[in-house]
Every structure is written in structure tokens, then in C-alpha cells.
Amino acid sequence: MADYNWLEAISVSEEMLMKTDQRLPVIWISALDCTGCKEAFTRSFEPSTLDTLLNFISLEYSELLSAASGEHVEAHKESIFEKYKGEYVLAVEGSVPGSDEFLMIAGKSVREEIYHAAKNAKAVIAVGSCSAWGGIPAAGLNPTNAEDVMAVIPEEVPVALVPGCPPIPEAIIGTLLHIHFHGELPELDKKKRPMVFYQKTVHMTCHRKPYFDQKLFVESYDDEGTRKGYCLFKLGCKGPTAFNACESMGYDRCIAAGFSCIGCSEKGFWDKGGFCGTVKRKRK
């Protein structure tokens, strides 16, 4: 995280920091998810999740993180839709099932619930690859007919996708903070991802790239190249086609641990090989 400065990344001046008064109301709805994205949200360092929650964001509803539960928290969520109409941000984690039989929240279909929450939101953030692209629930035979969140968001509502399995914590928080400080989503690429976090591939900033450039590759997970930390390209590393800031923001744990990038931030990553693909596939 040494090179990442969140104030610079989202263009926030010291003066803007001092002027911030009301926190940004955020509603977090979980659909077909594993809660990994929420875990990531709680683990930001720059700024810390605690600082973010105390100073900039008011997390008004989350099935997992809200202190209250049941009817009280559901009633509170409805009150936020009224009180902050057009001002709150909706974060959606997980993909959306194609039918109501797979997921209900407080007696309501999650499809309906996301639409209801999104229609008066200032913006929607699709947190994680399941929400952004359908992800693991939509992979393979897709027994729940899972879809990405765009399937149920009204067209006129601005949406940003923050993919990853899970996403980088600072990418989730940085996107929310940009809305808080600037009143709008950060600049997005053509796939609706914030440019600041998704403009480079993992490969472009990978700490093993000098070995790639010298054509020094690991050939198998137990060879001498592995011990020397050579490039994992021949083991199927997806870093060259995966747009994410893992390597540039200090979240290089997969590649640093000696396992090749599975491209978890890209659409259809599981069907394109995922974890098993990088173990089985070997490039010549």
C-alpha cells in the first residue's frame, strides 16, 4: 500500500476533508453471495474502514453488519429510502437469482428488493464479480439462473462495477468516497469500472514481470523456478488479461504466494478456468 494515497487517487484536498459534514447514507443489500465482499469492505487500510464509517459513510443497512435485525432494521431501511431519496448509495453484493424461489429478504423477493432500493438511489455500486458479472452463482449450469445486478437496475440510475473475488477493499471504499466528496461516480471505463482502480492489468505492475521480460518461467509448482520466484505465465497466469490493481496496491498475495492470477475481476472467470484452470492448464 506504500504507493497508494487515497486522497490523491480520488482527488480529495485537505480542505475538502475539513468541510465534510453529513456522511453518505449507504444501503448494502446481499443477494447470491458468500459475504467475502463484505469482509473485504471491513478490511480497508487507506483509509481504514473504521475512519470511513466514523467520518464519511453512514452504513444504514446491511444484513450482516447492522447491529439491529428483523422488523426494526427493515423499517429503518424503508425510512432511509424516504428520508434520503436520491441521496443514498445502494451497494449490491452477489448476483441476482432468476426466480424468487432462491432468495427472499424479509418475505420479499431479492429481485424486487434491489429494484425498489435502486430506483431512488443516487448511484448503485455492484460490489464484487458476482454482482458485476454474475460470478460464481452464474457459472457452469447456473442452477438459479443467476444474473448480474444490471438486470434489475433501472436504466437511468448511474452504476459502477467494482469486480473482484473479492474486490480490493480500497476500491470499494474509494468508489464510495468519490461519491461522498464529489457527488458523483468516479470516471468509469467502457465496462463501467472506476478507471483509477481498473485501468491496468495485473501483469503491467506485477513484481514478477522482470522475469517475464527475461523469459524466466516457472514450469511446475515444485521446480527451481518456483523457488526463485520466476514468472507464472506458463502455469496459466491470467495477469496479462485481468484488469485490477492487486499488484499496484499491495494486494499481490496470490502471485506473491506462488499461485498464478485467476483473473477473478474479469467476466466469466470461473467458466474460463478459475482456480482449476490455472492448476490444469499449462502454456507451452
Q: Which residue ranges make up the site for ligand SF4 (CB under 6 A)?
A: 202-203, 206, 208-209, 212, 231-233, 237, 239-240, 255, 260-261
Three cell numbers, residue 2? 506504500
Whole-angstrom Cα distance, residue 211 to residue 224? 14
Cβ proximity to ligand SF4, 110 vs 206, nearer residue: 206
Cβ proximity to ligand SF4, 163 vs 263, nearer residue: 263
Backbone angles phi, psi at 126, to 5 degrees: -85, 105
CB environment 138-177: b (16+ within 10 A), e (fewer)? bbeebebebbbbbebbeeeebbbbbbbbbbbbbbbbbbbb
Three cell numbers, residue 120? 431512488
Cβ proximity to ligand SF4, 4 vs 259, nearer residue: 259
CB of 173 to ligand SF4, least distance (A): 25
Cβ proximity to ligand SF4, 212 vs 270, nearer residue: 212
CB of 222 to ligand SF4, least distance (A): 17
Whole-angstrom Cα distance, residue 18 to residue 167? 29
CB of 4 to ligand SF4, least distance (A): 19
Backbone angles phi, psi at 218, to 5 degrees: -75, 135
Cβ proximity to ligand SF4, 115 vs 259, nearer residue: 259
What is the number of other CB atoms lying within 10 angstroms of the CB of residue 63?
A: 17
DSSP SS3 for 231? strand
Give the amino acid at 65: L
Whole-angstrom Cα distance, residue 284 to residue 282? 7
Cβ proximity to ligand SF4, 11 vs 214, nearer residue: 214
CA angle 223–224–228, rounded 5-degree value:
125
CB of 45 to ligand SF4, least distance (A): 23
CB of 263 to ligand SF4, least distance (A): 10
CA angle 145–151–153, rounded 5-degree value:
145
Three cell numbers, residue 276? 482449476
CB of 163 to ligand SF4, least distance (A): 17
Looking up cell 520466476 gives: 230
CB of 218 to ligand SF4, least distance (A): 8
